[in-house]
Amino acid sequence: MRLLAMAVRRRSGAVLAVAAVSLALTACAPDTSMPPPTQAPPADHVVVDFTVNEAQGVRATGAEFTDRFGTYRQVELAPDAPAREFDPQAFDALVLEIYGADLAAQGQSFAAEFIAKHYMDNPAVYDNSRENRFAYRDSTEGLIVPAQSQVWADDVLDSAAGWATDKQVLAAINTGAGVLPYASGQARYALRTFDLESATLNEADGGIVFTFAVEYDRPMLSAGTDAYLTTSGKYVLVVVADVSDDWFVSGWGQDVDSTLYYWDGTATQRELKR
């Protein structure tokens, strides 16, 4: 996992450090050389249950995009989505001291929306063409702190990097999984877990490091039959506020694993790990 950050932050009379950081944590590349182990899918989870999105406030009401698999509307989070709800217990005391509860809550809401919408449902998730990578970059214009905007663009446009997107889908496709045509009016994933785990101070730029625990499913195909890709782990986003209290992304990272469940006469799963 990698976090990148650079910005200036002033609040409550304190001048926070101006710096740039690049933190690298070990991550596993998708292993497609090993044969898939045989294992039954969870007994209580055989198909993708999209009804969970209502409880999580996930709505397919955003901008419309078209790729080689169909037309869809990007995910947005409802104003009362649980992931937006301020949880002071998840915040370090220093963060609340610097930002105050109201502004810290706005930062949490901004981070949750960005992850659900741009990280997990961007135009390049399924169809990683050059055109769609540029569409992803353009869709986040004005949301990245200026000092990091080129770094973000380079990450998004580099099809091999993938730190700024859910790369698990492409790993599944590369091992032979197929993509179902998008269903009209339906999100492209079912979000079962989206919980704020922690909110800490990023000393490099004075921003807030939000860590969310996630678990979600995507409908897919394998050998012509229904399949689903389950992804779980942590997404990290660093956000900073300017003097007008507008929020911007200054760092990003992920530490997730995915499992592709499918049927081929027996219950079989293929593990794809990043």
Domain count, the chain: 1
Dihedral over Cα of 159, 162, 164, 165: its sign: positive
pLDDT tens-place values along the chain, 274 residues long: 434 433 322 233 222 222 233 333 223 333 333 234 333 455 444 578 899 999 999 999 999 999 999 999 999 999 999 999 999 999 999 999 999 999 999 999 999 999 999 999 999 999 989 999 999 999 999 999 999 999 999 989 887 666 677 778 888 888 788 888 999 999 999 999 999 999 999 999 999 999 999 999 999 887 677 788 899 999 999 999 999 999 999 999 989 888 888 655 455 444 433 2
* Parent domain of 23: 2-273
Within 13 Å and on the Cβ side, how many CA atoms surround 40? 4
Euclidean distance between CA atoms 268 and 41, whole angstroms = 7
pTM above 0.85, yes or no: no
Residues 6+ apart with CB under 8 A from 215: 191, 192, 193, 230, 231, 232
Residues 6+ apart with CB under 8 A from 153: 137
Question: b/e for 91-103, b at 16 or more Cβ within 10 A?
Answer: beeebeebbeeeb
